[in-house]
Amino acid sequence: MIQTGIISRINLLSGSADLMLTILVTWSIQERVKNAWFWALVAGLMVGYVSGLPWFIPLAGYLLVVGIGRLLHRRVWQAVLLETFVVISISTFGIHLLTVAYLALAGGTFQLGEVISMIILPSTLLNLLLVISVYFLIKDLALWLYPSEVNL
Amino acid sequence: MKSNLPRSLQATLIILILVGFVMLALGGYFGGITNWFGKITVGSQTWLSSRFLAISDFLTVPRDMASLRQRNIELEADVARLQTQIIELQQQVTQTEILSALVDFARTNPENTYKAAAVIGRDPNPFLRYVIINVGSNEGIVRGMPVVTQKGLVGRVDAVVSGAARVQLITDQISAVNIILKNSKTEAILTGSITGSLSLGMISHDVIIEPNDVVLTSGLGGDYPPNILIGQVVSISNPEDELFQSASIQPIVDFSHVEYVLVITNFQPVDITPLLPTPNP
């Protein structure tokens, strides 16, 4: 609701932020979280239901996002905020390229340069801005749900 | 010490003295004395009054400040509440104006029946141009119904659930609308784009298109009713090495600020797919 009602109306050129993507990325890179794949499935099905795209495109995209997040988390986990920015950038590009590939197969005609400059780059910038606040929110939520173990 | 005079004589003397004073006073002989006495009295009274007021102010001002602060807080709260009311009323006025315009449009186009709807969301994917409206199958909305505003064509219903519907805008990349140019009487296909701009294609080189020519739906294909306004021709591209010329269109509807729409409920789109020729094997 927040995504379709508010976030999608805030545009930079033709791009817009993806709240679900930022939540999934920040959730998937949390240390103790184990069920990120489940939430990627839920988010993908929800967005697939609302969006004009076929349901499997957002689903595949969000699963890809969680995969990227989990993969990079094992590599650059010491700089968490940097990791978040890297993952969100790669994920935005990945999910948008997946959409572009589908639209191209569906018969759409467009110039890749225009797509990148008008949609992908502005969307990436908006996601980077959005993820800063989402990151701290999700971090607190993860700490609350999965508190640190205390050695006695 | 006891007086030697009898009491009646004492009283008479006192009365005579008092009458004498009164007579002297009435005769103006005490003017200097009364003036002097008056100055002293008024001066003393003024001094006493000013000091009393100063002390009174000193004692009561803090209490007034507290009450003034309290009053100020109450007034600020009132101002905030009134400003909220103003904003709400302005929103209601705006909504009323939009709905009034939609009603006017419906009255001036009585050949169709309409269902008004509010735009409650947009597609989460920035590549797609879809909006979500708050009427669905419960209100008789079915897939394919055209959607307009008082200005012109918006799109058509793409998917329906019980209480909502998803509308594909004509600016969507895979949207195609058969149109006719009003002045040149030329038919063409209007397509959206990934950035939301509109363009005309499939126009023969023989046809002369002028800027500002009005674009209307043609009704061909059975997807939209004819003669719904879409926009105006802005620029024409006529390269010699291409099969067709193309044109950019300025839509009449501001698609980034669509708040209310009308769904044309008595128009049933025609599926002409079975009539299309299929290539023989």
pLDDT digits 0-9 by tens, B205-259: 888 888 888 888 888 877 888 888 888 888 888 777 777 888 888 888 888 888 8
Q: Which residues pair with B165 in a beta bridge?
A: B133, B160
Q: Do A118 and B194 touch (CB under 8 A)?
A: yes
Is some CB atom of chain A closer than 8 A to the CB atom of B172?
yes
For chain B, the average pLDDT equals: 83
Q: For an interface test with A, which of B167, B193, B194 has the most A Cβ atoms less than 10 Å from its Cβ?
A: B194
Token pair recorded at residue B54: 């100063």
Q: In this predicted structure, which of A2-11, A37-46, A89-98, B75-84 has the lowest mean pLDDT? A: A2-11
Is the pLDDT score of B79 beyond 90? yes
**pLDDT for res A15:** 82
Contacts B123 to A, Cβ<8 Å = 4, 8, 50-52
What percent of chain B shows pLDDT beyond 90? 6
**pLDDT for res B181:** 86
Q: Match 């997946």 to its residue by tokens.
A: A98
Is the pLDDT score of B3 beyond 60? no
Three-state DSSP class for B159?
A: strand
Angstrom distance (rounded) from CA A55 to CA B30? 114
pLDDT digits 0-9 by tens, B108-163: 777 778 888 888 888 888 888 888 888 888 888 888 889 988 888 899 998 888 88
Three-state DSSP class for B213?
A: coil
**pLDDT for res A91:** 87
Contacts B159 to A, Cβ<8 Å = 52
Is some CB atom of chain A closer than 8 A to the CB atom of B257?
no
The 3-class SS string of A99-149 reads HHHHHHHCCCCCCHHHHHHHHHHHHHHHHHHHHHHHHHHHHHHHHHHCCCC
When CB atoms are compared, the residue of B125, B172, B174 closest to A99 is B125
Choice between B217 and B6, residue whose per-residue pLDDT is larger? B217
Cβ–Cβ under 8 Å, residues B224 and B177: yes
Q: What one-character DSSP code corresponds to residue A117? A: I
Three-state DSSP class for A66?
A: helix
Rg (CA), chain B: 46
Choice between A71 and B73, residue whose per-residue pLDDT is larger? B73
Please state, as a whole number, how many other Cβ atoms lie within 10 Å of the Cβ of residue B17.
Answer: 10
- pTM summary value: 0.67
Contacts B256 to A, Cβ<8 Å = 11
Is some CB atom of chain A closer than 8 A to the CB atom of B120?
yes
User: Taking the domains of chain A in order of start, what are their residue ranges?
Assistant: 2-140
Q: Which residue of B has its CA nearest to A121?
A: B126
**pLDDT for res B76:** 92
When CB atoms are compared, the residue of A14, A51, A119 closest to B124 is A51
Report the half-sphere exposure of A46 (CA within 13 A, side-chain side): 15
Mean pLDDT calculated for residue range A97-118: 83
Contacts A118 to B, Cβ<8 Å = 194-195
**pLDDT for res B221:** 78
